[in-house]
Structure 1
């Protein structure tokens, strides 16, 4: 039963499609109830998966993929020339995104009982198909299967927006489809190249997630390959997030989509992009992820601040919440690319929290639109007294969204900022990350702006003089009804989830952290072992340099005798790019070169980076490195910027020295250069 539980969960909504097609007459309520019943069955099965996950994790160990199933699909399976299969399984990250999908889907269906009056059969069929695609993405362990489900979600949402959307629904649907398909083509090209590379490395054409992750974490995928594959995958994922500046399709799609479409779009569909970065880019392409992390972080921070400012000036409540999604998902990306356990775990938790809070806000806005038939803030006001339930839920989910301590949003934001701030430190067996405190300050500004525009929206909508709907014949009658029992029942489970994650997030975070450590981040020792496989390390292996032969060791000058362990520790910093030797200060800083030489060998390092928009950690100064008479390293005016020191950025060459004087930038240098084609050359 365990092996097929996930398959049953993924495809159980198809039973609802059969039930929806059975009635010959267009019975709206009967069709809606059938779809809701089957979606609730899917939720029950998902809760059963949570129970089995806990039991199997206790038995097999934290972080393992469990509830796995494998059926050969294309080729003969493992050991054959082609190994593309139906592989499903979940770890702690997949599990809770699965729960989020299974929870929001029946709530979205329930919110449509009175909103959808035409072509109800097709509407609920599309919602159920969308649920199938989303569940499949989070369970897939073969990247071709992942891509099939990933792209399948576009079709039902395109029709949901284009048929049941607002006045500009066709424009919104077409823009959404064109953006996502354009990025998905490049993503598919990246997956094809990964399959080709796996074939050259293993002799099997495969897109098995475990196989590709092993190749990436063992350093068998050259950095030049990682660079281009990362960009190809990011083309589709960044649009789906959406990451600035690929966000322009989202506000229009949210504004024109029906309420259920907005709930699923904000609550789950946008998570496909962040999930793709987390599940594919970080573990399979660790070197490229590290090198591009500052770029992604800068784009995320720009998106956080830009979207917050854009939301502040919106008059449409739904568009305001849509821009808040762009801002909040920037925090997810910032946490993921901190490459620290706290930051990545916080980013994944933020995905779940955003799905709950923002999905609920779209539900509240949808219920409000059914009563007012407008979303213009200038035409709505004073609702706190006649609509206390709506006011309560609007304030509650607003506070959850802005990160009030005690609610779910606070925990994710705190971990993201903590992971970003400590990214430059080496802890927990992981290397120093690429970010630091400089990225925290502008991100914190985004939190402040988020609180400002969300509370401003609440103040305008709930307080002040009462404004009845424009078509109400007599505003003195107070004809605006409060939320119904059905609507309260829809919002209550989400509110309880927000409260539970805010008060006691430990069980969920433990699942996230174990999955992040085991399946996402690369251990430092793994990276050091793999350094020799990278295309820009010289033919002399690091072990040969750190541990010279006995004869060579005896011939070394005692003054310049290096401690192999100390040097190894300095160079063994995981997937980090080289430290940046910086000359000058501020934006005019430029990379420089330095060398370490004793009487027996030279080490030549050339560091090439792009100064990040918000700078790096530490100070900068003139580059100089030398040995004093006691044999210790003197580093006057020298500072390592960015993160760590990696052997993959060092070209090491044995060479007998000529002279024993102190070494500095003006001294003799090894002539070997890093291989052409490196990033930043």
Structure 2
């Protein structure tokens, strides 16, 4: 079964689905939605089969496929997945059906085409799968750039507020980052033996000139830091997250932003090991600043969607310190954080979208006491908020704990400062809950008919799988960590670092 072309089929399936949905007449919106949902469920089913076929104790990269593309450049359609890529592919497969169902009524048919919107969502899924499945640097770069197009049109055409400004800002930031990467990709091709094959480039990574490797590292890192985004490259995210439809925003911060952290793990660390170690202190500093800075900004936000966007910037700081701590615990925690953040923040964005759709406003000040009218929906928002702040018993707690304990063993100062982010997370999440659903009922809410409708059956189906996964992985993350661990250990071997030796306590003395 491992010889089955999982990755190429998985990549192409959403693109074929997008073409089918796009050709459905605008007047048959319900059919377009149903086809898009069923198609995404087929992708999910295939992803589950691929997960079952992955051998945890097998080769680092599995499901390898390679087809000729541009022989003169040494570029091929090469696909392969390690444990890190596999869990991200599974996250994509889970989130897209949920988002499609959550977006069922997001398109006003009198103004926009529902088939076009859902075709764009499936096109976006195609590019996301391609990014994580690619094992050719040039192919990765192509997917990295192409994924901007569907999200640009989703934000600019189907968003709200300053949607055109947000779409252009999102596109320009990402495009500039892509130009840095393009320069680095060309440089890597020249000095790396005129090949784009990741395995060959990684094998010869140690032979690169030190200064050349550091410049190439920077080219890749800037592109990935913008995409993640890390401080100070973050300013596009609150605008894009605030303007995008709630479901698309869940994909933006739940999946697309992970391309940045995945790229650092896969390409920066493995292809430029010495440069990664050399730049680590600066990367750790930026990550910690991002945790505190974004959390402080989140506390003062009055727009729910912008608030959730700022919380994501803070969370990416934790992922950043987990990556550059260079320990197995922190690295595994960082990858697990990528998965758990996608689930928790995806749920939070979707539930916020349900509130915004009912109220017709994303402003916190337009709510107040909403839990008295929609108690079940308010309870789901409360759970999503607790998961986002990494409450013990929810999945993000496990990943955050691993990141902090793994970082503390090598960089105590950074770990201690990062823990302040946990306190601030409690402040901005609980303050949001208090102002939105608790306290005195805002009389204006009683005049909005939609606010009298509590969570519907469709909405229950949307949130149930995410809640279940956040609870299951909060108590039993082993199935995921078992897949992640070998890939993280192999990446640390590429970097040339090892876990610090544990201290032992004997005869009342602490020794090394």
Matched, 1:385 2:372: yes
Between the two proteins, the alignment pairs up a number of residues equal to: 496
Alignment of 1:515-594 (within 5 A): 515-518=487-490, 520-522=491-493
Q: 2:185 corresponds to which residue? A: 191
Matched, 1:16 2:17: yes
Alignment of 1:661-680 (within 5 A): none
Q: 1:49 corresponds to which residue? A: 50
* CA apart distance, 1:3: 3.6
Matched, 1:444 2:431: no
Q: 1:116 corresponds to which residue? A: 107
Q: CA–CA distance in 2 between the matches of 1:127 and 1:478? A: 27
Matched, 1:179 2:180: no
Change beyond 3 A, Cα 1:120–1:25 = closer
Alignment of 1:259-278 (within 5 A): 259-278=246-265
Q: 1:499 corresponds to which residue? A: 471
- Is the CA contact 1:144–1:207 (under 8 Å) kept in the aligned structure 2? yes
Alignment of 1:79-478 (within 5 A): 82-117=73-108, 118-199=112-193, 205-216=194-205, 219-423=206-410, 436-467=411-442, 473=447
The one-character-per-residue Cα deviations of 1:221-261 (angstroms, maximum 9, x if unpaired) are 12211110011111210100111011011101100011121
* CA apart distance, 1:575: 12
Aligned with 2:80: secondary structure?
Answer: strand
The one-character-per-residue Cα deviations of 1:345-404 (angstroms, maximum 9, x if unpaired) are 111111111100001101001111110011111120212232122122111111111111
Change beyond 3 A, Cα 1:479–1:393 = closer
Change beyond 3 A, Cα 1:226–1:386 = same
Q: CA–CA distance in 1 between the matches of 2:498 and 2:44? A: 41
Q: CA–CA distance in 2 between the matches of 1:258 and 1:297? A: 32
Which protein has greater RCO, CA pairs closer than 8 Å, 6+ apart?
2
TM value normalised by structure 1? 0.71
* CA apart distance, 1:468: 5.4
Change beyond 3 A, Cα 1:517–1:464 = same
* CA apart distance, 1:57: 3.8
- Is the CA contact 2:368–2:441 (under 8 Å) kept in the aligned structure 1? yes
- In proportion to residue count, which structure has more helix? 2
Q: Which runs of 5 or more residues in structure 1 are unaligned? A: 76-80, 200-204, 424-435, 528-572, 577-681
Matched, 1:27 2:28: yes
The one-character-per-residue Cα deviations of 1:192-248 (angstroms, maximum 9, x if unpaired) are 11111112xxxxx211111111112xx211221111001111121010011101101
Q: 1:509 corresponds to which residue? A: 481
Q: CA–CA distance in 2 between the matches of 1:115 and 1:24? A: 18
Q: CA–CA distance in 2 between the matches of 1:269 and 1:305? A: 23
Alignment of 1:51-66 (within 5 A): 51-53=52-54, 56-58=55-57, 61=58, 64-66=60-62
Q: CA–CA distance in 2 between the matches of 1:381 and 1:28? A: 35
Aligned with 2:203: secondary structure?
Answer: helix
Structure 1 consecutive aligned stretches of length 4 or more whose deviation exceeds 6 Å: 573-576
RMSD of aligned alpha carbons: 1.8
Match of 1:73 among 69, 74, 77: 69
* CA apart distance, 1:15: 2.9
Change beyond 3 A, Cα 1:301–1:28 = same
Q: 2:506 corresponds to which residue? A: none
Aligned with 2:207: secondary structure?
Answer: coil
- Is the CA contact 1:290–1:575 (under 8 Å) kept in the aligned structure 2? no
The one-character-per-residue Cα deviations of 1:14-49 (angstroms, maximum 9, x if unpaired) are 232243244335221111111111011111111111
Q: CA–CA distance in 1 between the matches of 2:238 and 2:224? A: 17
Q: 1:538 corresponds to which residue? A: none
The one-character-per-residue Cα deviations of 1:91-150 (angstroms, maximum 9, x if unpaired) are 111111001111111111111111112211211111111000000111110011111111
The one-character-per-residue Cα deviations of 1:281-327 (angstroms, maximum 9, x if unpaired) are 01111111111111011011111000000000011111111100000
Aligned with 2:5: secondary structure?
Answer: helix
- Is the CA contact 1:142–1:208 (under 8 Å) kept in the aligned structure 2? yes
Change beyond 3 A, Cα 1:196–1:315 = same
Aligned with 2:234: secondary structure?
Answer: coil
- Is the CA contact 2:24–2:115 (under 8 Å) kept in the aligned structure 1? no
Change beyond 3 A, Cα 1:575–1:388 = closer
The one-character-per-residue Cα deviations of 1:517-540 (angstroms, maximum 9, x if unpaired) are 12x11268xx5xxxxxxxxxxxxx
Matched, 1:487 2:459: yes
Aligned with 2:67: secondary structure?
Answer: strand
Q: CA–CA distance in 2 between the matches of 1:345 and 1:441? A: 19
Q: CA–CA distance in 1 between the matches of 2:426 and 2:434? A: 12
TM value normalised by structure 2? 0.94
